[in-house]
Amino acid sequence: MTPLDYTILVGTLLTIALYGMWRTRVAGDLNSYLKGDHTIKWGTIGLSVMATQASAITFLSTPGQAYTSGMAFVQNYFGMPFALIIICIFFIPIYKRLKVYTAYEYLGQRFDRKTRYLGAFAFLLQRGLAAGITIYAPAIIVSTILGWNLDITIFLVGTLVIIYTVSGGTKAVSITQRYQMAIILIGMFVAFCMIIAKLPEDISWRQAVSVAGVMGKLEAVDFSLDFNKRYTFWSGILGGLFLSLSYFGTDQSQVQRYIAGTSTAESRLGLIFNAVVKIPMQFFILFVGVMVFVFYQFERPPIFFNQATLEMVANSEYANELESLESQYEQNLEAKEAAIRRLASSMESGQEGAIQIEREVLTSLEAGGLAIRDQLKSVIETMDADLETNDSDYVFITFILNYLPVGIVGLLIAVIFSAAMSSTASELNALGSTTTVDFYRQLKKGEADDAHYIRASRFFTTLWGVIAILFALFAKLVENLIEAVNILGSIFYGIILGIFVVAFFIRFVKGTAVFTAALISQTIVIVMYKTSDIGYLWYNPIGCAAVVLLSMGIQSLLPSSNKQTA
Amino acid sequence: MIPTEEKEDQNSQPPLFGSWPKAYWFVVLFFVAEVVLFYFFTKLYS
């Protein structure tokens, strides 16, 4: 990175943060601090919801995923529009009518205090740990590639987020997210244009897309009912609906974004904006990854994109094996490039027979290239079983740093950190609000004014920010920490969604029944996790279904006095 | 009793679409159109 890139990077991040603080410099009441004083319009809500969901890893991993596996990942978002419609119809009117600050406050009004505490506690535990990972995940990748000090990167990014989130509350988070999202979208569009401009002159746009298609990278929709396939239309619709409903409907980091709307209509429009825009946006980000793949068919990509790991292999006893594999990979790339040019030429002249032959040659060469990479991954595993062999997160940033011009590099690193900061800000904002509203205000004895609760909210937001930074600093010392956080999230998420499903749709179930059902279900899920090999994503539907069924059963067994008052 | 202001807020209609059911149908139809386009895109280039 050049001084100009650093100037653009630091200037972009600081300007947005300072602008957010300046816009919210006048202190308001608690309502204003936690819900933005109901002055936020649908456009800001829409971008804020989008920015909260799109963490930095979205912009690092998604193009890398398309590079290795193609466009099929877009199907993962197919359930989201339907989940957002359900939230618009059922969730938003209730949250707005009851004027709640947090989603768990609604559980207190619908059921009882203990159910509210349970929901809020599960959120704090899960999201509190996830906030650390939101900072850590991009910091480790960018610092590895750029040679930055990881601890300082984590500290600086985390501190900047804490400052503007604590200073301006929900409104500052929403305002900064609007501009962070604008930088993200502009940056990705510029990256796309640069990739297209960097394709060889004798390869047209249509030929480039055709090459990607022939090499199996453009299969965006798969209607097969194969349960072994990770991404299909059906798994996207069902799994995506389930995950989106729990994330957008019950996670305070999202709920806080849309209940801040001026009115019910503004909140709904903000979500409808996401229901319409999110899938094309993900398609576009994946398409950027596919174009990076096409670009690398004409430029020599490294055999493994994580250069730090590659250097470790080069300096180890496996250096000769690496050299041999690199040589084989180089030959494979040369043969592939020649085959692609022949294919493009055959397409131009419309020779069907030649197209078919080159298609088969390319498929075989692509499989050969992947086999060579797999051999290298085996070598890395043999050398050190703790090293990460999935390099897809490093594909896009390697391209950015090696092929984009000065200035644009700084802009795209700003994209990555803007995404990290926007997600973290929402998380800290929600964690601080939930701790203040659902615990501190409930447990505090005696009356206190708004100023007191704003101070408390600022204190708790700072505290969660410090915990997130410490967790991110500690993360590198713990094996498979990201996966551990994901597992922890899945263990709790299904139970929380189950409580909300009962709250919204099963009116005869009361507090004691749902609380007992949630505890039993949580125990079942934890026992299953300890004793079975089932994939952890399945704990979401299992936990939700267990809460719904058990709460109905328990409620029907309770004495009639409990049915009335519980 | 729900206050009038709240009632108005809950009953307010979206711009452009006229009513919320129409807005939701727009989202569903937009999704169907996307999937159809993605399907033909997949078929065309694979």
State pTM to two decimals.
0.86
Q: Collect the ranges in chain A with pLDDT lower than 70.
A: 27, 37, 227, 476-486, 535-537, 560-566
How buried is residue B29: exposed, middle or buried, by Cβ count under 10 Å (0-12/13-18/19+)? exposed
Candidates A453, A439, A412, A428; CA nearest to A186 is A412
How buried is residue A544: exposed, middle or buried, by Cβ count under 10 Å (0-12/13-18/19+)? buried
CB contact (8 A) between residue A81 and residue B31? yes
- Return the CA Rg of chain A: 25
Compute the count of residue pairs across chains A and B with CB atoms less than 8 Å apart: 74
A261: amino acid identity, one letter:
G
CB A157 within 8 A of CB A421: yes
Say what the pLDDT of residue A566 is: 38
- Taking the CA of residue B4 and the nearest CA in chain A, the distance in Å comes to 12
Residue in A214, A265, A272 closest to B27 by CB: A272
CB contact (8 A) between residue B27 and residue A84? yes
- Taking the CA of residue A75 and the nearest CA in chain B, the distance in Å comes to 9
Say what the pLDDT of residue A384 is: 85
What does the pLDDT look like over A344-357, one tens digit per residue? 888 878 788 888 88
**Rounded CA gap, A4 and A181, in Å?**
22
Above 80 in pLDDT, residue B40?
yes
CB A409 within 8 A of CB A190: no
- Taking the CA of residue A212 and the nearest CA in chain B, the distance in Å comes to 8
Any A CB within 8 A of B13 CB: yes
Say what the pLDDT of residue B6 is: 65
Say what the pLDDT of residue A517 is: 96
Say what the pLDDT of residue B7 is: 66
Above 80 in pLDDT, residue B36?
yes
CA A551 to chain CA centroid, nearest Å = 32
CA A269 to chain CA centroid, nearest Å = 22
User: B3 falls in which pLDDT band (50, 70, 90)?
Assistant: low
Any A CB within 8 A of B39 CB: yes
**Rounded CA gap, B14 and A261, in Å?**
14
- Taking the CA of residue B8 and the nearest CA in chain A, the distance in Å comes to 10
CB contact (8 A) between residue B46 and residue A219? yes
A96: amino acid identity, one letter:
K
Residue A349: both structure tokens together? 């002249």
Say what the pLDDT of residue A565 is: 42
Secondary structure (DSSP) of A391-457: -GGGHHHHHHHHHSPTTHHHHHHHHHHHHHHHHHHHHHHHHHHHIIIIIIHHH--S---HHHHHHHH
CB contact (8 A) between residue B14 and residue A263? no
**Rounded CA gap, A235 and A242, in Å?**
10
Any B CB within 8 A of A78 CB: yes
Any A CB within 8 A of B10 CB: yes
